[in-house]
Amino acid sequence: MSKLFPKSANRLPLQIVIYLVVLGGIVTAATTYYATPKYIRVGYAPVQPVEFSHALHAGNLGIDCRYCHSNVEKSGHSNVPTSQTCMNCHSIIKANSPQLEPIRASYASGDPVPWVNVHVMPNYVYFNHSVHVSRGVSCVECHGRVDQMEVVRHEKPLSMGFCLDCHRAPEKVLRSPELVTKLDWVHPKGMQGQIEDGKKFVHDWNVQPPQSCSGCHR
């Protein structure tokens, strides 16, 4: 009766354990890196129908965000401007630019310009722009330095953890509502000053960001 197992089988249990530990480590690391919104969403920068440069308009020219996204303080939904808003200036400035052809076509026909949505909230999440903007959460917190972007890209993960970081410690981001569209503003006294003032805002405005499930998943 010959042997059923070679002598090397003695090492097999240890080898299996090592293999499983290594495999588990790789799977965990890969999932953590590749399967979270930090990787999946960040960097999304679709080609838009018009090469609109936020860096030029909001950065160099210094147009306030709310000139175009005019409902952001009053509405739960932040509007993308209609072509009429563009034509306020572009009926005079670069009135014949071939790049602006889709804008003029939209202005003439009344059909909206098919802008591609960059920051998409899933339907099961309730998000209200006005309540954040009018209580001093700057655009930059969720959208990044749009005033430096030639093409708008998804800068922040906007994962549930991302939302909860703020909802658990709002004093770290709250600023005076006049400053919400100043994307380059940081507290002059640094983080220390930010937290001191933030706590004051939290207290004065009775800021109670919901952390229960139904706060956002209504």
For the bound state, the minimum distance from the C-beta of residue 161 to other proteins, rounded and expressed in Å, comes to: 3
- Scanning 8-16, 133-141, 144-152, 171-179 for contacts with other proteins by CB under 8 A, the matching segment is 8-16
Among 8, 10, 123, 214, binds other proteins (CB under 8 A): 10
| Nearer residue to other proteins within complex by CB, 42 or 63 | 42
- DSSP one-letter code for 95: T
Give the pair of three-digit tokens for residue 171. Answer: 């004093």
Q: Measured from the CB of residue 36, what is the shortest distance to other proteins in angstroms?
A: 4
Contacts with other proteins by CB under 8 A: the residue count is 16
Residue 121 and residue 30: Cα distance in Å, rounded? 25
- Nearer Cβ to other proteins, position 98 or 122? 122
Q: x/- site string to other proteins, residues 142 to 181, per CB under 8 A?
A: ---------------x-xxxx-xx----------------
CB of 4 to other proteins, least distance (A): 5
Which residue number, 49 or 161, has a Cβ lying nearer to other proteins? Answer: 161
DSSP, res 52: -
Residue among 68 and 216 whose Cβ is closer to other proteins: 216
Rank residues 44 and 162 by Cβ distance to other proteins and give the closer one.
Answer: 162
Tell whether residue 122 is a contact of other proteins (CB under 8 A).
no
Q: Are 13 and 20 in contact (CB under 8 A)?
A: no
Which segments of 35-118 does DSSP mark as H helices, in order?
37-40, 54, 65-68, 83-90, 101-109
Of residues 30-69, which lie at the interface with other proteins (CB under 8 A)?
36-38
Q: Rounded CA gap, 37 and 120, in Å? A: 12
Residue 110 to residue 50: CA distance in whole angstroms? 17
Residue 4 or 92 with smaller CB distance to other proteins: 4
Question: 55 to each of 60, 114, 118, 137, how far by Cα in Å?
Answer: 6, 21, 16, 21
Least distance in angstroms from the C-beta of 186 to other proteins: 25
Residue 140 has a CB neighbour count (10 Å cut-off) of: 22
Least distance CB 205 / other proteins (angstroms): 24
194 contacts 187 by C-beta, under 8 angstroms:
yes
Q: How far apart (Å, rounded) are the C-alpha atoms in residues 49 and 11?
A: 62
Q: Note the residues at the interface with other proteins (CB under 8 A).
A: 1, 4-5, 9-10, 13, 36-38, 157, 159-162, 164-165
